Structure 1
Amino acid sequence: MATKETSTRPIYYALGANGGIAAAKFAAAFFTGSGAMLAEAIHSLADCTNQLFLLRGLKEAKKPPDESHPMGYGRVVYFWAMMVALLLFFLGGAFSVLQGVERFSKPEPLENVMIALGVLGISVVLESFSLYGAMKEIRKTSGGKPFFKWFRETRQSELLVVAGEDIAALCGLTLAFIAVLLAVVTGNPIWDAIGTIAVGVLLMVVAVFVMHEVKGMITGESAAPEVHAAIKAHILARPEVDRVIHLITVQWGAQLMVAVQARMHAQPSDHALVDAINAVEETIQQRWPQVKWCFFEPDFDPGTD
């Protein structure tokens, strides 16, 4: 389960890093006239806004259940994660592509290039620090999975978004650095325009990947595969349970909903059956504190697993 600390720490890392980077990039873009640098500055500004969106989503998710939302507001984090992906796509990616196309049609020579290269170098250090913080949190919950597999299976939308942003930022910085360097070495500002477009396309590709994963969370995904399997194995191991007929897990933000249909071993009375069901539910919620709701239905139908 993602705790408050593990959920927000990488976001604050990214917010602090991107705030400083955005200010430096805008200054460098002003002094150099580099389109690639301006694209990177807009990207960092969009990232700052994205982190504020994620923090707002985590805050709203803590609102208690009410009559209109009896299961609480946990899934609101998915809405804000989708907003972040859209902002990354349009403000970060599409704007950069348009800026690059304009620079391509009207190339202008770069000035004070060493300022741009210095800012890009510092930005790489700060973004690396932000990505290190995100990867550190990912390792705590990934169970040793390769990063791409974790990216596809994680239910932590805020951590997924931060990691995606940081990776896109580092790759974008590399492209911008190469573009500015080529523009200086060749004396042809077209390379700066090409770099600006490349940064925009990169951001749009990352945004599409993030949107695809968040869409699954909004639609309603089960718990991570290993968690779902572990819950099923736990129920089957209980002496009160004869057979698990059906098990549904639904990720609800940081919390889980579990619905179980099972054939129980014979009990001496109705009260004993209720006590047996309560005992199973209690052990599930003890082992997985993120299981906020557990619905248990005893059944005689053997069904299928």
Structure 2
Amino acid sequence: MTEESPKAIFYALAANLGIAICKYAAAAFTGSGSMFAEAIHSTADCGNQILLLLGLREARKPASRLHPMGSGREIYFYSLLVALLLFFVGGAFSVYEGIHRLIAREPLSHAYVALAVLGISVVLEALSLAGAVREIRKGHPRKSMWRWFRETRESELLVVAGEDVAALLGLATAFVAVLLTMVTGNPVFDALGSIGVGLLLMVIAWLVATEVKSMIVGESASPEVRREVEAFVRARPEVRGVINLITLQWGKDVVLAVQAEMIDYDSGRAMVDAINVIEADIQAKFPQVKWVFFEPDVLRSQDKA
């Protein structure tokens, strides 16, 4: 969880609030179903960003007897709520609205107003997405966006980026639908545009929800973090061999469990002191590793295999 995440969410909230107001006004003025679907989408985005901010606040709660490892994973719950809202409020409602207008064949007036609002919205959403991509690139300069999407453990940044992508594609779909309706005079294109926006939102919401669900179930730390931690432990002179190493992402923190064979020590106390040094060095090298559980054991033949 990066420190920039709340800033990115606040920027997105302010932008989407302004965009939603403009879209509602344009939808009422033009009677465009695609524009109304986009207004609903922006409203859902505003609610989503408020939920993410609430989730970030809840995730900072200190540890307690009920939650001895803190509430860091609570952000995953709120991120899942956001994905569900995007699916049902943004996607399903847009599909419903499109089907209703497809049946009613309501005419579109002053289409140029809708096109102007959609064009401005594209620029604003593109700037928002560019900001999210910059934050992603700070921590992962060499990863492709798809690989980052599959491997990231920052659910709030995942949701913001997913919403921005959905918004841009939805705006492009709505723009084409309104333009075709204006050129042909056929309101069917506008209704189909609303349905297209809804289906697009539902697909992206499903992809985001799938990734967040995996985090809720319990994902390891990112592959590069796990590799670096394991290499660090294996290189320790006190360790003869690593039997097992497990990482678990806990919000912005990481839980680490290590089972390793230690070199020979004169006493149990000397081994305990060595383990304490290893744990302290791990946490100094990897500040995100908040908890370390280190178990000395004997490397057996099946472990070597």
TM-score, normalisation: structure 2: 0.98
Residue 75 of structure 1 corresponds to: 73
Q: Which runs of 5+ in 1 are unaligned?
A: none
Residue 104 of structure 2 corresponds to: 106
Matches within 5 A, 1:1-305: 2-3=1-2, 5-302=3-300, 303-304=303-304
Deviation at 1:113, TM superposition (A): 1.2
What is the Cα-based RMSD across aligned positions, in Å?
1.0
Number of residue pairs the alignment of both structures matches: 303
Contact 1:131 1:163 in 2 (8 A): yes
SS in 1 for 2:4: helix
Deviation at 1:7, TM superposition (A): 2.0
CA distance in 1, matches of 2:161, 2:85: 16
CA distance in 2, matches of 1:135, 1:53: 21
Contact 1:15 1:51 in 2 (8 A): yes
**Structure 1 vs Structure 2: percent identity of aligned residues?**
60
Deviation at 1:143, TM superposition (A): 4.2
SS in 2 for 1:300: coil
- Structure 1 runs, 4 residues or longer, greater than 4 Å off: none
Deviation at 1:129, TM superposition (A): 1.2
Contact 2:24 2:36 in 1 (8 A): yes
Out of 113-122 and 167-176, give the one that drifted further.
Answer: 113-122
TM-score, normalisation: structure 1: 0.98
Deviation at 1:6, TM superposition (A): 2.1
Deviation at 1:119, TM superposition (A): 0.5
Out of 11-20 and 154-163, give the one that drifted further.
Answer: 11-20
Deviation at 1:290, TM superposition (A): 1.1
Q: Which runs of 5+ in 2 are unaligned?
A: none
Contact 2:244 2:260 in 1 (8 A): yes
CA distance in 2, matches of 1:132, 1:17: 14
Contact 2:241 2:299 in 1 (8 A): no
